A and B are shown apart, each in its own frame.
Chain A
């Protein structure tokens, strides 16, 4: 474990960026933070709240030609400063793409990317015109401090007084640290400071979701009216929720014939279960009603995911409800069902 001053830390990132692609949180001219390739450490906006697009796109590109993958621009990246929830989301995606069947495109990008995680000292909260983004990662066991032991390279924590605590988790991480002499051995007090901050961060959440018993409850309440009510009155099937969600893995594949009609590419691109034809086959469309599509999203994230992968498909980042045009909130739907259960309306 090391400590480093904020200045030295940023200088170190600056140096890394001169030889490698470093993606870091940057404030754009609309006042939003996005992950972007940086050239100068002055661009980095460390004190940011959850970004609209999650860093999953760097490991799992939105569109990819799987017949002739062009990996040049995406090789050897460093992602600097992703939040704990987004790192947990990547580890959730790993279960799909590096599980029983290995996806070689994903594996290659995952392997070639170094990830530096930034712990959050406070629940994230940001005001948007119609909605307040609020993270609830503490409820989903995926933040605000990292809970993983592997799958990333370096973990950093702002321990106050312009100092950062640095913990490496891989060989890649240790090699990156070795590039600067400014990393000093951490003292006991630095480590206990981290533990203190972790505790206070955990209790800073105002948005919560009780997850105990939730997967089982949702599995037996598939006909609960909340899905139809919400879908019919508010859902536009715009697919925003699934596009911003850091754990959604679904894709579509489409062949594209070149204009010379001689070659063809095979593109795979992010798809969404909210799309009308997502479940359509010759025999029929199994999720034609909008309520069925909304229910798929909610029950997948909070119930069936556990059966598939042993973890929730929601890391509590708060994106889907923030960038939903009508702010549909899956935790609100879950809570309505939980309430009915508590009141004995559901057995």
Chain B
């Protein structure tokens, strides 16, 4: 997404297409471009190009338990994953959404979380780093990794999709592998500096991979082996 005079920023989809017409994006103000986007009014124009890169391997993992683990704004690209899983509920075994936030106020899509939780189709587990008195679903205090013990399905028959800060994903992957998950069955959405989106500007490279066109979703095994990642 871009704004003339400010530049462009790579933003993921946070919905499946709505009536084949529109999409939802969830944008956190992190730099100049996102700040300016946040100041736009209805009717203002912004530049859009894409989509770039790959997708979560949702079809490939049919018939398995799917564990979705989000950290902070990492919930945004995972929201359409949950939508897809729920729309195709019968094709998967047990579903989990494990979602950790810094503080209670920054939890995204609260209405939906409640709805999903109530539906019983997916087990929603929430955590916040900062202690809070607010009672929301089963919200517990602590790092998101403390919730991993609540996964009560065999990990040999499960896949994990995770997105969040690289430090958070490091501990999630470590935790899942320690609990018996095969590294190949962990899928990670990587974030890198992106300028072009098409494998030309070189900024997003991790080893031989271009996060923009080969990713952003990688299997843990395929990306961990390269230099300069914190996984």
Binding site for B on A (CB under 8 A): 67, 96-97, 99-101, 103, 219, 222, 249-255, 257, 264, 266, 268, 271, 273, 278-284, 286-287, 292, 295-296, 299-300, 304-305, 307-308
Contact = CB atoms under 8 A, between A and B. Distances in A.
Contacts of B31: 282
B134 interface: no
A292 to B, nearest CB: 5
A96 B199 contact: yes
B contacts with A: majority SS: loop
B202 A279 contact: no
Interface of B: 4-8, 30-31, 165-167, 191-193, 195-196, 198-203, 205-208, 210, 213, 225-230
Contact of B201 (A100, A219, A251, A304): A251
A54 to B, nearest CB: 17
Given A281-B193, A284-B166, A286-B192, A251 B200 contact: yes
Nearest to A306: B208
Contacts of B229: 286
Contacts, number: 96
A122 to B, nearest CB: 34
A280 B194 CA distance: 10
Nearest to A215: B208
Given A251-B196, A305-B208, 18 more contacts: A99-B199, A100-B213, A222-B226, A249-B201, A250-B202, A251-B200, A252-B195, A253-B201, A255-B5, A266-B4, A266-B7, A271-B201, A279-B203, A284-B167, A295-B227, A296-B205, A304-B205, A308-B210
Nearest to A264: B5
Given A264-B4, A296-B228, A308-B208, A250 B191 contact: no
A305 B195 CA distance: 20
Contact of B166 (A101, A255, A283, A308): A283
Given A96-B199, A101-B198, A282 B30 contact: yes
A308 B31 CA distance: 31
B201 A252 contact: yes
Contact of B202 (A67, A100, A251, A282): A251
15 contacts: A222-B226, A222-B227, A249-B202, A251-B196, A252-B195, A253-B8, A253-B201, A255-B5, A255-B7, A278-B203, A284-B166, A286-B192, A292-B228, A304-B226, A308-B208
A27 B210 CA distance: 40
B179 to A, nearest CB: 25
B196 to A, nearest CB: 7
Given A96-B200, A304-B208, A280 B193 contact: yes
A286 B210 CA distance: 14
Nearest to B206: A286
Contacts of B165: 283-284
A251 B210 CA distance: 14
Given A281-B191, A282-B31, A284-B166, A255 B6 contact: yes
Contacts of A282: 30-31
Contacts of B167: 284
Contacts of A307: 207-208
Contact of A279 (B193, B196, B207, B226): B193
A222 B199 CA distance: 23
B201 A250 contact: yes
Contacts of A286: 192, 206, 228-230
A345 B159 CA distance: 38
Contacts of A266: 4, 7
